[in-house]
Amino acid sequence: METLQREQLVQAEINGDSQAVLTQMRVINEQLNNFVQNDRVLESISFNAIAMVRVGSPFTYITNNDEANEEARCNGRTEDNMRDRFNAGDREYMKLAFVSIASDDDISAQIVGKPVKEAPKLVFRQGVMVKLTNPSGKEIMVYVGGISPEWRGDRVSTYQYGAERRFKFSSGVRNRISGVLGRFNIGVLFGAERASQVFVNPPSPKSSSYSAFLQSYRRDILEDSIKKGPGLFYKTPTSHGGCNACTSIALSTSSNFPDLLPAFSTPFVPFIDQSYYLIPGYPENPIDEYYLGSPVYAGNSNCDTPTIVGFISSLVPFSQALQAYAQLQNRSVQSSNQLESQLNQFLSSSSVAFVFPPPRSWSYDDVIQWSYSLGYSQDYISTAVNFAVVLGIILSQYPEDVVDDLEKELYRHEFSCSNQDQCYSEMSKITQDIYNVLSQQGSDKELEALRVCHAEATTLDETCYWNCVDRVYESLKRLPLFERLHISPSPEELRWDAQTQCKEACIKFNEKRYLECLKQIYPSRGTHVTPQ
């Protein structure tokens, strides 16, 4: 039966009969527990299949590989269970099963004036939040996922079924991780865990060989962005960019049920290798930059809960991938029939994704080691972790009604956190000064003075810095992922990457200089803004 259906599907693809292909796809889809949940996606698969058969690589929705077919069925059952649990209002399930949405209301000024319909790919990303417990028993939060190059704030706000966490994303952090992001598009950010409610981690990751699926909020984000109108992006009085609703859109959207988009590897798509997946999109939901860094899911062993199988590291429009393969086969993707307009729309909306495998587990050690494999240096990671740990400890010492404002302001400072004790001493003093300004209803200028004097009192330890650069440069040269992806960064690129990652690890705080600076700005208030 399956052999006959497969032959009928391929024959319809050869004939270029889009309706016959779609009809056959629907029949097979039912047998695979409706793995493809959206009829527009089935339509996209049909047109992609017609293009694939032209280059001698027909799409086979039911394959000769029983394991691949069963994995697709499992994904279909998992998706059905997700919808059933959502309809039943099972909040605990949705907290661990749903993807996170990240955004920022402070954005690049060059975004202002861009069409609102481009908002999803410009200023929104998807990822996952995980609570980690470090070796000393302190809890921190980590965000793994997409990072928009247009974010300009000091923190990123992330929402997972209504749960909000914030992650440091100052200009220093952006500079330090830019090299990794430029190559692999997967961000690793750290933040304090100070929320009173219990955070539920996602299920342990797994590997996937044949098929998977994405959770997508792109359409919901687009709809809400369009409702906000042209005023969604604006220019601030200081000529920076602003978004008047990005974080609120992310928050409200995170409580919706996401679109579920299939991802097919070999043998469904014979001409792509494992770890690469065809993700069929359509004009209303193209597979574009919005999905860079996004987690990819597959059903767990019980086929009832989505489990992360990797993160999207790169995307190539399917039209380009197919054209490249066609040239190798001396074939042509195009023909002169009336299907070409629709075919081109679906091909350009679909993409081939390289999916980077996930950590072995969500344990602290496994996540940290996995981050190293992406090219994040030990110096960057340890400094970021120390910051998150110390921030959580210090914020717990202040009244709850001021913690949000304190946290927001602290994210605007750069701390020397290569040593946790020194980091604590420095952050304690700065936090107390910020608290005094806030509690005395001080001005923004006073807060700015604290930032100016703190920056002035923070200097780079040259010996530490160059030793760190040499060490990180050597580790980056040996990164296995470069060879796997056939990437050959130049020595200059790797050296620059090492320099940016080492800067925060080697800055030192001079408290005496900090107090002198404050005294010069506020001579009538004593040595600094903290009451004497």
Beta carbons within 10 angstroms of residue 259's beta carbon: 18
Mean pLDDT of 28-43: 93
Q: What phi, psi does 453 have (nearest 5°)? A: -70, -35
Distance of alpha carbon 530 from alpha carbon 523, whole angstroms: 13
Which residues touch 435 (CB under 8 Å, ≥6 apart)? 398, 402, 406
Mean pLDDT of 369-373: 95
Distance of alpha carbon 13 from alpha carbon 377, whole angstroms: 49
At 84-124, the pLDDT tens digits run 999 999 998 999 999 999 999 999 999 999 999 999 999 99
Does pLDDT of 524 surpass 80? no
Look up the pTM and report it. Answer: 0.92
Q: How far apart are the first and last CA of the chain?
A: 85
Question: Among the residues of 135-190, which ranges form H helices?
Answer: 171-184
**pLDDT band, residue 501 (cuts 50/70/90):** confident
- Comparing 209 with 267, the larger pLDDT belongs to 267
- The DSSP call for residue 129 is E
Which residues touch 495 (CB under 8 Å, ≥6 apart)? 469, 473
- Preceding peptide of 135 cis, ω within 30°: no
Beta carbons within 10 angstroms of residue 304's beta carbon: 17
Orientation angle between helical segments 39-54 and 18-31, nearest 10 degrees: 120
Distances (CA, A) of 486 to 118, 479, 483: 31, 12, 5
- Name residue 190's amino acid: F
**pLDDT band, residue 527 (cuts 50/70/90):** very low
